[in-house]
Amino acid sequence: MKSYIPNFLTLLNVLSGCIATVFAVLNHLEWAALFVFIGIFFDFFDGLAARALNVQSEIGIQLDSLADVITSGLVPGVVMFQLLNMSQTGGWNMPFSSEATDTMMWYGGKVNTISFIGFAITMASAYRLAKFNVDENQVSSFVGLPTPANALLILSLPMILLYHNNEVLNNIILNPWFLVILTVLSSYLLNSPIKLFALKFKNWSFKDNGIRYLFIIGSLVLLLTLRFLAIPVIVFAYILMSLINGSGKGA
């Protein structure tokens, strides 16, 4: 019976991703972000449960990646689609522009075709997860940005728009060039050769896990002080710390 527990947690990740997708399509991006956070929570604990119960299985590995394609691949793609569309149609919850060019009708409104660039994130995430499943070296470290970290980066954007309400930040985030460049950067980071440390503790020694402790403590401080604005900072700090640490060496 205990062998089903990790897979059940993974299926809860699938469910969270499905709910997040519905909210993202309806442009309720704060609710989409919430269910992505919940899905990532289940994604973390399914592996933890499998190791604790010693019931790791091949089907569990495959199921985990399939769940991540939805929660950490499809949802951020839809969110980027929505953000790109907002950047072309007047901003959050504004009426679809009647003057927009190169558009098509979609759910009663107009969608600028540049918005579909956002799904490059979904394609890059699926490709990264497929590579991860056949790469036996990504056990104690990662090659390329993990899809949950990338999903958090993308989902932080609408949360910053909603809860920070800073005109400068709003103008940056809803700039189409910024969003297109971020999409390209995100897709590259997912499949880049950069080695990143994993937050997996083999023991509790500070000597062996110093970078992990520093990262976790620093992340908590940033979240308490910067709130949602901390998430992009944390993601890029994660990449920088990995590079300083010797491209994940010793992770």
CATH number of 4-133+167-193: 1.20.120
Closest listed residue to residue 212, CA positions, set 251, 243, 240: 251
Does this model's pTM top 0.75? My answer is yes
pLDDT in tens, 58-109: 787 888 889 999 999 999 999 999 999 999 876 655 433 334 434 443 444 5
Nearest-angstrom CA–CA distance, 164 and 228: 8
Tokens, residue 17: 């991703």
Task: Assess contact for 12 and 43: CB atoms under 8 A.
Answer: no
Sign of CA dihedral 98, 174, 146, 76: negative
Nearest to 114 by CA among 145, 90, 152, 83: 83
Beta pairing, strands 109-112 & 103-106: antiparallel
- The average pLDDT across 214-239 equals 94
What pLDDT was estimated at residue 132? 85
pLDDT at 248: 45
SS3 153: helix
**Residue 103's pLDDT is what?**
41
**Domain segments of the chain as ranges:** 4-133+167-193
Res 199: pLDDT: 77
Tens of pLDDT, residues 140-189: 678 899 999 999 999 999 999 999 988 899 999 999 999 999 999 999 99
Query: Which pLDDT does position 137 carry in this prediction?
Result: 67
pLDDT tens digits, residue range 15-52?
A: 999 999 999 999 999 999 999 999 999 988 877 776 76
